[in-house]
Every structure is written in C-alpha cells, then in structure tokens.
Amino acid sequence: MNPLLKLIEHGQSYWIDNLTRRMIASGELECRVRREGLRGVTSNPQIFRKAIAGTGDYDEQIETMICGGRPCPEVREIYEALVTTDIRNACDILRPVYDASAGLDGYVSLEVSPHVAHYTEASIEQARHLWRLVDRPNLFIKIPGTLAGLPAIEQLLFEGINVNITLLFSVERYQAVAEAYLRALERRREAGLALDGAASVASFFLSRIDVLTDELLRHRITPETSVELQPDPRTLLGKTAVANAKLAYRSFKRIIASDRWKVLEDRGARVQRMLWASTSTKNPDYADVMYVEPLIGPHTVNTMPETTIDAFADHGSVRDTVEEGLDEARGVMEDLAKLGIDFGQVTAQLENEGIQKFIEPYDALLAGLADKCQKYSNRLGVAPLQKVAQQLRRDVITMTTAAGSGHPTSSLSCADIVAALFFHEMRWDPGDPGARNVDSFILSKGHAAPILWAALRQSGASHEDLSSLRKFGSSFEGHPTPTNPWVKVSTGSLGQGLAAANGIALANRLDGIAARVYCLLGDGECSEGSVWEAAQFASLNKLTGLVAVVDVNGLGQTGPTPYGHRTEVFARRFQSFGWSTFEIDGHDMEAILDALYRARKSGPAAIIARTEKGRGVPFLEGVHGWHGKALSQEEMDRAFRELGETGVHMTVEPRRVGEIRSVEAEPPPPLEPGYRRGEKVATRKGFGNALKKLGEHMPELVVIDGDVSNSTYTELFARSFPKRFFQSFIAEQNLVGTALGLAVSGKIPVAASFACFLSRGYDFIRMAGHSRPPHLVFCGSHAGISIGEDGPSQMGLEDLAMFRSLAGSTVLYPCDAVSAERLTEKALRTPGIVYLRTTRPATPVIYSNSEAFPVGGSKVLRADKDDRYTVVAAGITVHEALAAHDRLKERGISVRVIDAYSVKPLDASTLGQAASETRGIVVVEDHWCDGGLGDAIAAATNSTVPVHRLAVSREPRSGTKEELLDRYGISRRAIEEKIVALAGR
Amino acid sequence: MNPLLKLIEHGQSYWIDNLTRRMIASGELECRVRREGLRGVTSNPQIFRKAIAGTGDYDEQIETMICGGRPCPEVREIYEALVTTDIRNACDILRPVYDASAGLDGYVSLEVSPHVAHYTEASIEQARHLWRLVDRPNLFIKIPGTLAGLPAIEQLLFEGINVNITLLFSVERYQAVAEAYLRALERRREAGLALDGAASVASFFLSRIDVLTDELLRHRITPETSVELQPDPRTLLGKTAVANAKLAYRSFKRIIASDRWKVLEDRGARVQRMLWASTSTKNPDYADVMYVEPLIGPHTVNTMPETTIDAFADHGSVRDTVEEGLDEARGVMEDLAKLGIDFGQVTAQLENEGIQKFIEPYDALLAGLADKCQKYSNRLGVAPLQKVAQQLRRDVITMTTAAGSGHPTSSLSCADIVAALFFHEMRWDPGDPGARNVDSFILSKGHAAPILWAALRQSGASHEDLSSLRKFGSSFEGHPTPTNPWVKVSTGSLGQGLAAANGIALANRLDGIAARVYCLLGDGECSEGSVWEAAQFASLNKLTGLVAVVDVNGLGQTGPTPYGHRTEVFARRFQSFGWSTFEIDGHDMEAILDALYRARKSGPAAIIARTEKGRGVPFLEGVHGWHGKALSQEEMDRAFRELGETGVHMTVEPRRVGEIRSVEAEPPPPLEPGYRRGEKVATRKGFGNALKKLGEHMPELVVIDGDVSNSTYTELFARSFPKRFFQSFIAEQNLVGTALGLAVSGKIPVAASFACFLSRGYDFIRMAGHSRPPHLVFCGSHAGISIGEDGPSQMGLEDLAMFRSLAGSTVLYPCDAVSAERLTEKALRTPGIVYLRTTRPATPVIYSNSEAFPVGGSKVLRADKDDRYTVVAAGITVHEALAAHDRLKERGISVRVIDAYSVKPLDASTLGQAASETRGIVVVEDHWCDGGLGDAIAAATNSTVPVHRLAVSREPRSGTKEELLDRYGISRRAIEEKIVALAGR
C-alpha cells in the first residue's frame, strides 16, 4: 500500500505545496485528492510567478479583464483575480474532504502580500479582502508569524477567518502563535461565537533551518581548527531542524493537555494542528524523506513538494515517530549553544530571509503581469491609434498642399510614432501648455512640423486652421517655434533637440517631477556630432526619463542618408554612448507601443524605428525627390484615396505626473561685494563669487560648465551647490543646448566656458535666441589677447560680435571684481539671452562695493571740462585707458574716460554727451576690430563725432599679456600715442 | 612487405608533397628516405605558409636576419632565405638517392613565384636565381606548364637547370612540354653540352580534374532531366582523371619510342618522367588510392600527400597498370564530348585555378612574414625609441618650466606615442616642411604642443630654443599655429584635428599620394561631437590612410575625464562609427609600434592608448591638479632625476611616399556669364553655374556640401566633377574642418550650406582663420528673412557678423546672377577666408554679363546730382532699393542707390563720396541690425553723414518673402517711408 495513504491512520494529513491553473484544469489535483489521499493545498508567490509569467495559461483571463470594455484594472486587481480564481477552484475540489472531515481538513492556503509581513493592520485588511474574494469556508489565509503578525492572527481568527500561520522557526514563536489562537477562541467564546468557526494551522519550517545551521556548523569544522571542539560539530549536521520540530510538537502536546485548552475543546474548538513546512531535502547527501519520516503523529500536517511526495510514496516508512528521541533533540539544541551557535539569531535570520524569498517573486510576478497587461492594453489601442495616424497623415497633406510648401513626406514617416506618443504614451494635458508635471515632447527633426501641428490640432491642444500652415500670423510655422505655446524650444537646425531634452530632464529631476521627455530625431540629423554630445551627457547623468525616437526613413534632402535603413548602425552607436536601444518597425503600432513601454524602464533609451518617407501614400513611399515638396491639389486627392476614410476622433485624457513641489523663494537680499579698492581680482573670480552668493537665495539658479570650472570660477558655485551644477565636459553644443532646456523649464541657467569655445555652440546660441527663454546667461571667460601665452586658439576675439548681433540680446563686460559681481547679478535678472564677458588676468578693483551697474548704463571715470577726446573702453582696456589718461594729463592733454560695461544696450546718452563735449572718440577693445564695441559705439554716436578704433586687427600670437596689448595696439601706450596723434602734437 | 617499397620494382618512384623545417629537424624526412623508400620531395607555397606563418619554427632565422645588425632585408629576401634553407637541407638528405640512382631520382622541387606564371622572362630569371641560391644538383625548379612557361622551360633545361613542369592537365600541353624538353636537349647537343646535365619531370594532375568534371557531369544528372542522356553521365563519375593520365602516358610512350628520342637517349639523355600529381582523393565516396593504383608503370613518379602515402602503405595494391584500359580511357574522353563537356575548357580553367591556388597562400605567406618581420624590427627599435621618449619628456619639462606655464603633464602622457610616430612610423623629411608626399601629423590635443615642439627639435626639423616656448616671436607657441611651418592647422580648440585630417587624406587621394595622416587626440576631447562627425565622414569615405591615436590619460582640466581609463568605451564608439580599433598600453613601445603597423592596413583606424598623465615623473603620474601647470625649478630637477640620463640622439631618415604627379593647369579662361537682363535667376544658382564653369579649368577647385547641394546649387558642380565633390551630410563642423584640411593641402575648397547652418561650424571657421589657409571659400545660401515660409530657424541673420568680425576675412554678397558668378570667381582667387552670401528667391538680372566686380568695389546703380539721400543695399535689398528709387522719383525725391556687394572690404571711397554728396545714408540689409552691413558702413563713413539703418530687429516668423520684407521693415515701401520721413515730407 502507498505509504502516503497510511499517514492519515497515524493522524497526519499530507498537503501539497503547489497550485497552478494547469493542475486544476488537467484534473491532476482532483486525481491526487480522490486517489492519492491528498488533503490540502498551499500556494505561494513563487509558484504563481512561474505559472502566470512563464506560461500562457492565464492569458485568456488577463486579456478578458483588460479588453473587456470596462476601465482597465490595476495590476494588483488582475493578480488577485487570477489567483483567487485558482484558489476558489481548488477549494471546490477539496470541498468533499473538508465536508467529510467536518472542517478538520481539505483546506487551500492563500498568502497575503509579503510586503505586509511587518504591518498588523495591513495584514488584517488584506486577509479580510482575500477571504471575501475567495468566499469559501475551506480557505486558509496564510499570515507570517512575525511579531506584527501575532495580533493580526488573533483578530482574524476572532473574526472567523481561517489562518495558516507561516514562517515559524522557533519554539518560542510557535508558543506565541498558539497563545494567539487560544486568545482568539476565548474572545469568540466571550462574544458568544461558535468556537468551530475559526480553523488554524501553525506552519513550522524544517529544511531551511538545517541549511543555515549546517553552514554555521561547517564554519567550525574547517581543517584550520587545531583544537578539538566539544561536541564534535560533524555529529550535529542535518539534525537541528527535526530536533527543533520535535520540541515544538512537545509544546503543542503540552498546550492541548492544558486545562485552558480543555475548556475550549469542550465547547467545540478545533485543534490548531502543527504543519511541517519546507520539508524537501536540500542537501543531496541527506535522505529525501528525512523531514517526513521522523515527524509523523497525531494532529499534524506535512506539506510537501511533488518530489518529496513522490519519494515518500516510493520508499517512505510510516509509524508514529514525532514523539521519539525528545532527549536527543534537547541535546542537539544544547550542543548548538555549546558551539556558540545562537539559535535565536538563526531563526530571526530565517524569518527575514523567508519574507524576502517571497517578496522577490511576488514583485517579479506583478512586474511580469504588468508587462502582459501592457501588451494586451497596447493591442487594444492599436486599431484606433492606426486610424489616428492615418488621420494625422491626411491633415499633414491638407496643410502642406494648402501652404504650397513644407515637408509632407518627412512628416508621414513619423505619423505612427507621433500618434502613439500623443494619443497613448505621453501623460499630458491638452488644455494646459504651461504644465510642468507632464511628459515633454521635442521635435528635433523640426522640418516635420506639420505632423506636430496635426497632432496638436487633433488632440484639441491647438485650434489654428490647418490651412494656416506657414502663413504669416499662424502659430503653425514652417518649423516649430514657441509662437505655438506647445513648443518649448525652436528646432529646425538639426541635432539640437536632444540637448534641450537633457535640460528639461535635469529640471524635472531637480523639481522632483517623474515625467519623461521624448525627443524625435531623424536619421539624417544623427550625423550631427551634437546628437552624440547630448547622448553622452544623458547617460553620464543617468537621465532615465529620456527617450529618443529616431525616425530612420533612410532619405535625406539630396539622396539616401548615409546608412539608409540600417537601424543597427544607430543602435550600436547609442549603445556605445551608454543608452538602451530598441530596433523596431516604425509603422507597426504594436511594436511602437511595446518599445515605448519598455523604454519607460530603461532610459535613457533610444527607439530606432525603421520607417518609409512618405509612408501611407504609395506614390510617395521611399521615393527620392519629394523632400520638402508639397503635393498639388490633384496629387492630394489621389493621396486621400490611398489613405482611405478615417473619420476618427480620439480624446486625449489629461494626465499629470504627480504634484509639483512649490518652492517659495524669498526675494534674495541685495548682493554685497566685499573688495578693497586697488586689490587685484580677476573679473572671472568676481563672477564666481557672485554666483556662489546668489545661489544661496536663488533656488532656480543652475550652472553648467564645460570642464573649465576652475578657469571660469563656476567651481565656487559647484562646491556650494553640487546638485545645481552640471558638468558638460568638453562638449559646448550640449552645454548651450542643455542650458536652454533648463531655461525653458523655469530655471535660470548660467552656461560658462572660455569665450572662444562658446563659438562652438553658436548655432545653439542662435537657436536659443529663437526659442525666447525667460532667462539664459552665458559667461565667456579668458576673452581677448590679454590671456597671453596660450595663443590665438584660446583667445575669444569674436564673442562680442557673436552675441551683439542676436536680436534682443544683452552684452555685459565688467572691468573689475565689483562690476563683475554686480553685472552677474544683473545678468540673472535680465530677460532673454545675456552674455557676460570676463577676463583672465587679475585687475585692480576701481569701484566702491556699493556702486550700481544698471543695464544700459556706463561709468564716466575721468571727466573734466577741458577734455579734448573721449576714450571709451571696457573690461581689460579700462585699466589701460586710465593709465593713458594719467600719462596724457602729465603731457597736458585732458581726456575723458568711459567704462562702457554695458556693450548692448549701450549708454547712448552718456556717450552722446561725451561726443558733443569732446572732439572725438577713441574706442579701445580687446576684440577683433569688426562687430564689437567699436561698431556698437559708431552706431550709437552716429555722425556726431569721429570714432577712432583701437582693436585687434592682426593675427595674434603667444606672449605676455603686456607684450600683446602693446603689440596689437590696445595698451596704455597705444592709446596715448593715438590721442597725441589726434591732438596733432 | 610495404606496398610503397614495391613501387620501385615497377618503375615508379613515390615522392612526398610536403616539406617543412620540422620534418627535416625531427629526422622524419630522413627516416622516410632511409626506411620507407621515399625518393623525392616537392614543396609549394601553401605548405610553407602554414609552416612559416603558423609556427615558430622559422622565427629564429627571421630574427637573426632582421636584428643581425645589417640593413633590414626585404620580405622577399627573407622568404627566399627561409625556403632555400629547407630545400637545401632536403636536397642533402636525398642526395644519397640521387647519387645511387645516377641522377635519376632523389630530387627536391622548389616553385617559382606563382605571380610569374604568365611571364616567360621573369620565370627564367627567378629560376636561375633560385637555382643559384640552393646550389644543389638534385634540385628541381618547378615551373607551371603555361604557354608562357614553355619557352622558359626549354631555355632553363638548355642551361642545365632541372625543371619540374607543373600544372599539366591536358595531353596536348603535356606533348608541348615534352617537345620543349626534346628541343632543349637538341640545343644542348648542338651546343656540345652533356645531355645528362638537365633533368626534368612532367607533373600531370589527377584529382582536380575529377572534381571539376564530376561537377559538370552532375549538372547533367539532376532529377529535372526527363530525357535519358546517352551515355549515362553517372557512369563517368570519377573516371576522367585517370583516363586522361593514361592517354598522356600513351603519348609519353610514343615519344620515347620515337627515333628523335632514341638519338638523344643514345647520347645519354635521361627520360623526362611522368609525375602524377594531385593524387589525394577529394571525394570521400571514392577509393583513397584511386589515383595511385591504376597508374603504376615504368618512368613514373607519384607525388602523394601523407594521407595517400599512409593509405597506400596500408592497403595499396601494386602491379603494372598504367597501360591497362586504354580503350576505356579513350571512351571516357569521347563520352564527355558527347555529353557536351569541353575538356579543353576544363583544363584551361584548372590551369587558371591552379595558379590562383598558389597565389593566395603565397601572398598570405609574404604578408604573414611581413608581420613577423615588423614585429622583430619593432623590437629592435624599442630601446632607442624609449630613450627618445624620455628625452622628449626632459625637453617638455625644460620648456614649460622656462615658460612658467604650459601643459607638461598632457605632453608626457603621449611622449611614447609621439616618439614612435616621429622617429619610427612616419615617412617624412625633417628638412622639408612643405613636402606633400609624406605622412602628416595633426596634434588635435593642441595643449600638448610642447611634445610636438620637442619632437620637431630633436629630429632637427625645428631649431628654436627650448626656452623660447610661449615667448613672443617664437614659433613654439602655447598651442600649435602655422607660425611653425610644421603645423598645418591651428589646434587648441579641441575636437578639430580629425576633420582637418579628413581633408588632408582626401587631398592625398585626389593627388595620388599614398601617404597616411596621423591625428593625436585626447580622451577628454572625444566628448566633442565634432570628433564623431569626422569619424563618420572618414569611414563613409573609406579614408584608409587615416590613423587616430587617442591618448587616454583619464584626467581632464577639472578632474577625471568621463570614462577614465576605460579604453573600451572609445573602442566601441569608434567601431560603431565604422573604424578599426586597437586598444593598447600607450607606454608599451612595442605595443605602440605593433598597433601603428597594424593600423597601416586597416584604416581608418583608431589606436586607443591607455596612458598616465605626467608619465615618467612619479610625482606627476595620474595626479589630479597638475593640468596646465609648469614645474618649478626645484621640481624640474627632481623630475630629471626620475627620468634619468638619456643622452640619446636618433636621426630621422628622410622618407617620401612616391612621387607627386605634377598637375600643369593652364590659367583658366575668363568666366563668361550668359544671362539676359531682367531674367529671374537666384544668386545661389549663379554661384552653382560659376562653380561648374570654373571646375573645368581649375583642377584644384573642390566642393564640399552638407546634404543641401540641391539648395546651394553645388549639385551643378557635383554632377560634372563627382570626384572633386564631397558629401559631408548633416555635419557642418566636419564640413568646415574637412574644407580646411583640403585648403592646407593645395586645394581651393568651397564649403557650402545654408547661411544659418554655417553658424554650427563657427568655432571651426574661427580656427580656420587662425590656420591661415591660402584659399578657403564659404558659401551660405538662403540668407535672411527673404527665404520666407520656412521660418526663423532657417534664416541666416548673423552670418555677416560672424564672417565680418574675423580679421583678414573677405565678405561678398551678390544681388543677381551675373554678380554671383563674377563674385564666385573672385572668391576663388582671393586669399584667405572668403564668405559668399547667396539668396533663396530668384531675382532679376540687373548687370550686363561683362560687368566686373572687384573685391572692395561697389556699384552706383542710380545717381543724380540732385540726390538727397543715399540708399546702400546688398543682395536681395538691392532690388527693393531700386524699386523705392523709382517710387521716390515719382514723388520728386531723388536718391542714390549703391550695391555694396563687397561687404568687407567696403568701398570706402565711393561711399565717402556719396556721403559727401547727399544728406545721409540709409542702409538696408536682410540681417540682424548689429554686426552686418550697417555696422560696416557706419565704420567706413565715420562721422561724415548720419547712417540710418533698416534691418531685421525683431524675431521673424513664417510668411511669404514679400510679407516678411515688409513687416520687418526692409522692403521698398519701408525704404520709401524712411526717406520720405527723413526728407520731412
């Protein structure tokens, strides 16, 4: 006879530690119950994880729940529906056992979430919830026997909810659990409730105890131990678990022998049976039934995995054993103590590990389930999104044909991607373009503007007429500009979107907004190095919320792009820059949704989408020669026939990403420079000092630098505010682009580098101008030939021209530390693009700390009614002008000296006055002759007096500062000579 | 008894088809000869390749030859030394057989180079050379029996050189070979030479014939053939080779039966034996001795590979067979013909394949040998180069300490690399900085200038004092500039060298110069996107001569570089951009030399060298805080103690890469525009037309464009001169950098894009200015708001400021197609940086085709003595000004109109005259207000009359050209209003 069937004769039920839908559906469970004497089932997250995530057995139910037409349920709800379905079915299969045993046996156990193991109230809530959901009398709710679990257990049993107390390792804790049962019964009695209305088992764990204890024993039997330990640790290996269980059973026997219990038993209370759990043998050297055979006796359950059931069926031997060898058991526990093994610590560790062992698969189960849910939910969204994409295509063609120009084919290639983003993936609110706690979108391939306008219009975010595209006054411009409120940064000069996206992602992180930033690029624009600067920055800064989508349509303006449809080239590149990548068919809506979903967890992530330019209209698809060309009316009609009728309208549900933490900043106190007159301090140092001071009171102030922070002195800010300082390394395009992204996200960014290296980012600066940020400050240090020995490559000599030419820009140029601090403060408060020019060498402080420096002002440093000429200087040349003034004075020539610290706007009135009061102006500047201060002053003093220029007009070279100022004609000597010549002496 | 030993009794010798040094050294060969009856050996390139390249058996001899102190021999010489050593030793082992058989047997065969198979004279030369080298009577020189081989064979045999005629497949060719032998003998007889003085065998091939014939037969036995072929092709499989050989043997028998032979034989001539070659069985279905057993008989040799020898020894059966089955043999050949198999074609194909089969391993052998030679030669160079590197380090420290600034540590990290390049790898001439047919070097990490100066000085190329570093007047500037004649392009703004290297490599290719270009980069600068633009361009353009070396010293200016010493990051990136990569220890001289050697064959190649900043001086090595700092005198002394004494002087042998093809260009004929007045043609089209015309007569004119050639109209040039047109795709930094590289290599490059996108390359443009190229022309199209609908991102509005500000630049701005063509011509002939601004819309032609447009000139288009104001315009606004003139005239106000096509230099005299003759100037320009034509004119007309400006001063948007000109105040209406207002009407 099968030994399993004999167990019941000795008072032991055997249960199985496994439950899956397949077991139920295949009839296996029923067979075991009917033919093999199985009397109960327990489940756990590990087994459900394998069954749900690893097989398709549950997919039908998942799909029905998600696609059932009702609002999409949460993942937890789906999880509960899946497992309670199984549990309920199992309960029904075991119901005959339950009924036949009058409620003594025939139970199925379902575990609460392992995350509530240490929370009494949450455990109670969950247990009640699951009890209601399953709604079967032969259900056990499994609750871990932690300290927090004890009151929950008592309460639940009191309420009549059956509890299987799990994760018991120590006799002491078992006793506490038994006590909880007794108290629950007593409370029921007091409340007049039936005592057989609450069943319980106490699950005592076996093999894990030996695994850990054996490990500790083995530490004591290494060959390095010369002393002979007493007792010999070898003799204890594999003995602890059973010994411990036998002692627990002894406790159990004492309890059911107590008077307290008798009272309850007499009133119908059922025994809280001992359940042996974790009874598979882990160590292959041990017998495979070692946790079954010695623990047979009345009022016991042994929950076994399949292998142990099979082993016992094959060669298990059955007799009453559980009360044998109690002395030996006691001896084992004493010997452990003698060897210094603290069994209390062992059981505590096992309890913690036990909880963790379920948390991991439980979380994995929910994550796996979320993936499946997403897949079904995606599938659900595919058909309408495909229609939306077709509608967007119609709109694109309508717009561009009405305009007679634009880029329809470049828009069609990304229509599916844009539909997926705007109508499915992105969390945004079409009613609020100013919202910050939403996902952002940057159309880096700006020439595809029509697809953006179409998406905004279809979603109700913009209301312009489609036919207004590219018309004067419409916000639907040829390329995206902030004239349309949904556009954060102007694009159209390719390769710029990703750096701006970096800045937005940084701002989100600073403000605790868990939003994502999507940037759509073309394959052609990936030839721009700036894309790779930005890609490096994103991965170095772990911008996990950043998702780039590359629309690989394979055609550029003049022909095929360099890599055609070879998406793997872009994937390899993004990978080599530290990004996750997904290569997909960019017209397969399900693939798009899936990639977007996966990208959520793996940012910065690049989705490399293979597409066709002109997709959707066969005569345009992948055909060269259509770049930037609109269709004729006739061609449009033909295209519409190809696209078919859509007549779709899909509503975008407004969604936000959490709440914005509102930062209430006090108005900062006025800046207080603290220099002594004559003290030599470089203006770049003054700038750094000011940043540090201002940072204290301006939480929106952020600084970004290109690996020269010890030269620009942004390091002073970086040290005090490391979280608001960003390192762009030697990548100035990204420096500017990221700063712009920060600027359009409510920050006041300062981007600093050598003045000459800002020329690297000039296209980005130009486009920043077109993006009209509220505040964006650039600081160029080491301007001019006064840097000295490093030579021409390091001399910023065109920076004034560069920044001056931009419409609406402000250009400031301090000459000492006081003006540097003051002008830094002004720069941060001046709207738009501001450029601050600083100098390498230390220069004497000439202003008092309280001097004010309004934008558009100037300082008349020397003036006399006899002034014959006016010397206008700025920055380093102010000091040369002052020295020249003194020397000329000695020679009897009086000159006015003006510090034109505000190069743009210029102080036209002061200069005009000087012009009218003197015979001519000499402008002296450390800059190329054209485009700088000289041009500015000639423009301002238009035709009133001659403007003579001293500026750098020949190729400079290495040398000392003094040599260079002199050789290139902008020194004190040069000024003196010029004035003397003008004065005709 | 071993069947092999019985062969000789039947008149057949067996030879082995294998010879290696190991066989000789191990005694195997001797054993085979003495004990197993082996009577000859043949060798071939395939076997030598495996032995020489695949084992170390020859390395000692190679090393001795290379490092023996004598001048390094050529690879061929080494090859010959290796194989003739083996052949000679084998001859000596077989000599007893030769002697015992009185010269009938005991031969060793050595093959001439397979490359001479079709060259009679070369075959003779080589055979003589090898015969002399080996100097043994029992040597056979193997000569293929090609048509070209036949006269060589006759001549060599006549001269008494033994010949093994190989690669015989047909009976006809065998007969020709036999004839050659007979004639040689007859000539010897005539010349009175001994007839036994020349031995010969005719090697007739077996298995290859069956391989090919069987293939042709199988084509005829596919299941698709429904008709029954006669004869059945199946019956012929595997029969052809032996049948063919038997027929050849029959010919042989006829010959030796002839009277002609008898005469010779009587005078001592030896029979030219038939040698069966290629006798291993390829088809496993066939017997492994199928090419031995049926071909046994008198006067034969069978040359077998080892496996066939073993098979025959095991189960070969020996009897006279070669003359059996002659009828069947004849039948086989007839049947092939019936099946349409042309056996003449079969043998011709086999002969060609046979030669190719030896060419491949032969070339591989020489290449493998070259690798080994290089390795030994490198090793030889290591010690002195290490000393040179240490000396360079001393020089670097000397220089920077004397200067008190500079970047010693960044120089020390690459000292080993620079020593390897300048004193070993590069082919250059320290006496000729202007040479073009030499390898080039670009120090992209320009701050390491001291190491470059040190290398130039140590090699005798520069003679400046070390102590002059960074001093005014020295060519040893802080960063490399062309003040030093060895510097091609200024560097120091990082990330620029590789694009310039691209340009130099392109110029080399155009001029047929097989030189390499080396570019040394820092790891920090690889953060610059421009590096990756250039990397993409190099691989797309297959610039195989380009080698980048990345000095990964792991420290930037402010701290660790983003990836520290993780060389794999850079390797993966370069790979993802299509480059070969080598990761090495940048201080292991042998590794450096090896990588440089391997890079020669795999360009574009990047060597990623792990280095330490400050290497060589322990207190500097890898220590942060030393960037850009010089050592004190005391620290220098300490460093010198660490570096040790070097006292080395290594001479750089001047080397060139081939000859320069001198291109003699006729002076181009004058350009002839062909437009009608009033015809509407865009200036960009005029530019394109001019390029196409000028390209015809200016071979040095090259054009590079950034995927907008159909907008800039460079496509007109590209179509006519595709080899001189380069596609930079959407990568404007590379566009400019590559153009500069071309410019400093004798080309006249035109780099074209939209005007606005040139701002992307402004740092490159600035540095191009500092590089002082002879000619470098930029064309910016689509300038200004007149582009219309595309919106602000596409409008070049700062380009005039950008180019005007650069010292020494020229800025030209045509207004019609005639001036566009003329100014394009002028641009190409004007030295330095020239910017040509073109316009999108078509504008009417206003000039006659013969009009001249000198640089610095202007055109007074409307003038009258009554002129009250002067309107100065350029480009698109010229047409607005002309229209305004007409309308004002109608209103009775006369204005002068000037076309200021030369924005820089400006025509100060004409403008001055206009200023003096009118009451004020109105400048109207399609550009931002600052930095453009207005500033230029205000500067030129300094204080003589008021200069009023009409320019773009607000953010523009999309709209029609006309709308925009009007809304932003630069239209005919705006001019008219301004003048009217000034006139006070």
> Which residue bears the tokens 């000139």?
B857
Q: Angle at CA B266, nearest 5°, toward B263 and B269? A: 90
Cβ–Cβ under 8 Å, residues B110 and B141: yes
Give catalytic residue positions of A. 142
Give the closest of A556, A715, A957 to B483, CB-based.
Answer: A957
For residue B403, the chain A residues in CB contact (below 8 A) are 789
Give the closest of B536, B708, B792 to A557, CB-based.
Answer: B708
Phi, then psi, of A844 in degrees rounded to 5:
-70, 145
For residue A556, the chain B residues in CB contact (below 8 A) are 707, 729-730
**Structural domains of chain A, ranges and CATH numbers in brackets:** 3-18+29-41+69-205+241-317 (3.20.20.70), 385-643 (3.40.50.970), 679-845 (3.40.50.970), 859-984 (3.40.50.920)
Q: pLDDT per residue over A912-951, tens digit each?
A: 999 999 999 999 999 999 999 999 999 888 767 889 999 9
Cβ–Cβ under 8 Å, residues A957 and A792: yes
* Residue B529 Cα, gap to closest chain A Cα (Å): 4
Residue of B142, B239, B685, B859 with catalytic role: B142
Most confident of A334-338, A352-356, A394-398, A648-652: A394-398
For residue B573, the chain A residues in CB contact (below 8 A) are 573, 576-577
Give the long-range contacts of residues A595-599, CB within 8 A, separation 24 or more. A596/A420, A596/A421, A596/A424, A596/A425, A596/A547, A597/A371, A597/A374, A597/A378, A597/A425, A599/A547
Q: pLDDT per residue over B186-227, tens digit each?
A: 999 999 999 998 899 999 999 999 998 998 888 777 554 445
Q: pLDDT per residue over A804-846, tens digit each?
A: 999 999 999 999 999 999 999 999 999 999 999 999 999 999 9
For residue B333, the model assigns a pLDDT of: 96
* Residue A501 Cα, gap to closest chain B Cα (Å): 17
Residues 6+ apart with CB under 8 A from B172: B344
Q: Angle at CA A732, nearest 5°, toward A729 and A737? A: 110
CB contact under 8 A, B939 and A943: no
* Residue A448 Cα, gap to closest chain B Cα (Å): 11
* Residue A940 Cα, gap to closest chain B Cα (Å): 10
Q: How many CA atoms lie within 13 A of B658 on its CB side?
A: 11
For residue A473, the chain B residues in CB contact (below 8 A) are 957, 959
Which residues are bridge partners to B727 per DSSP? B705
Residue B935 one-letter amino acid: D
**Radius of gyration over every alpha carbon of chain A, rounded to an integer in angstroms:** 40
Helix (H, G, I), strand (E, B) or coil at B45: helix
Give the closest of B557, B561, B804 to A930, CB-based.
Answer: B804
Q: Which residues of A77-104 are buried (b: 16+ CB within 10 A; e: fewer)?
A: ebbbbbbbbbbbbbbebbbebbeeeebb
B717: left (phi over 0), alpha (psi -120 to 50) or beta: alpha
For residue A234, the model assigns a pLDDT of: 87
Euclidean distance between CA atoms B273 and B256, whole angstroms: 10
CB contact under 8 A, A494 and B730: yes
Q: What average pLDDT does this structure show over B818-839? A: 98
CB contact under 8 A, B766 and A756: yes
Neighbours of A69 (CB within 10 A): 7
Burial class (CB in 10 A: 0-12, 13-18, 19+), B147: exposed
CB contact under 8 A, B471 and A957: no
Neighbours of A614 (CB within 10 A): 24
Give the closest of B446, B528, B759 to A762, CB-based.
Answer: B759
For residue A496, the chain B residues in CB contact (below 8 A) are none
For residue B227, the model assigns a pLDDT of: 56
Q: pLDDT per residue over B920-954, tens digit each?
A: 999 999 999 999 999 999 988 876 788 999 999 99
Q: What average pLDDT does this structure show over B888-896? A: 96
- Listed in sequence order, the DSSP H helices in A744-875 are 755-758, 762-771, 799-805, 817-829
For residue B225, the model assigns a pLDDT of: 46
B837: left (phi over 0), alpha (psi -120 to 50) or beta: beta
Q: pLDDT per residue over A83-98, tens digit each?
A: 999 999 999 999 999 9
- Report whether pLDDT(B355) > 90: no
Neighbours of A55 (CB within 10 A): 12
Q: Which residue of B has its CA nearest to A953?
A: B807
CB contact under 8 A, A529 and B708: no
- Token pair of B629 as six digits: 């700092």
CA B733 to chain CA centroid, Å, is: 23
Rounded to whole angstroms, what are the CA distances from A919 to A896, B861, B947? 11, 35, 19
* Helix, strand, coil percent content, chain A, rounded in steps of 5: 50, 15, 35
Q: What average pLDDT does this structure show over A654-671? A: 81
For residue A340, the model assigns a pLDDT of: 81
> Which residue bears the tokens 């079709």?
B118
Residue of B490, B496, B766, B916 to mutate for A, most A C-beta atoms under 10 A: B766
> Which residue bears the tokens 């449809």?
A565
Q: pLDDT per residue over B139-177, tens digit each?
A: 999 999 999 899 999 999 999 999 999 999 999 999 999
Q: pLDDT per residue over B413-466, tens digit each?
A: 999 999 999 999 999 999 999 999 999 999 999 999 999 999 999 999 999 999
* Residue B464 Cα, gap to closest chain A Cα (Å): 15
- Token pair of B979 as six digits: 């003048």
Q: What is the DSSP string of A951-979?
A: EE-S---S--HHHHHHHTT-SHHHHHHHH
Q: CA dihedral in degrees (A503, A504, A506, A509; nearest 10)?
A: 170
Phi, then psi, of A581 in degrees rounded to 5:
-135, 150
> Which run of H or of E encompasses B461?
none
Q: In this structure, is the dihedral angle defined by the CA atoms of residues B26, B28, B29 and B35, taken in order, positive or negative?
A: positive
Which residues are bridge partners to B873 per DSSP? B899, B924
Number of CB pairs, chain A paired with chain B, less than 8 A apart: 339
Give the closest of A556, A931, A945 to B707, CB-based.
Answer: A556
Cβ–Cβ under 8 Å, residues A718 and A705: yes
- From B338, B294, B341, select the one nearest B318 (Cα to Cα): B294
Most confident of A228-242, A377-391, A735-749: A735-749
Q: Please indicate whether residue B481 or residue B284 has the higher confidence score (pLDDT).
A: B481
Rounded to whole angstroms, what are the CA distances from A576 to A524, A531, A532, A580, B545? 19, 13, 10, 10, 25
- Confidence band for A224, pLDDT divided at 50, 70 and 90: very low
Cβ–Cβ under 8 Å, residues B106 and B13: no
Burial class (CB in 10 A: 0-12, 13-18, 19+), A659: exposed
Cβ–Cβ under 8 Å, residues B509 and A773: no
CB contact under 8 A, A556 and B730: yes
- From B563, B493, B491, B577, select the one nearest B533 (Cα to Cα): B577
Cβ–Cβ under 8 Å, residues B410 and B522: yes
Give the closest of A540, A929, A947 to B562, CB-based.
Answer: A540
- From B907, B904, B957, select the one nearest B931 (Cα to Cα): B904
Q: What average pLDDT does this structure show over A452-468? A: 96
For residue B223, the model assigns a pLDDT of: 52
For residue A352, the model assigns a pLDDT of: 81
CB contact under 8 A, B556 and A707: yes
Euclidean distance between CA atoms B823 and B608, whole angstroms: 46
Q: What average pLDDT does this structure show over B53-73? A: 80
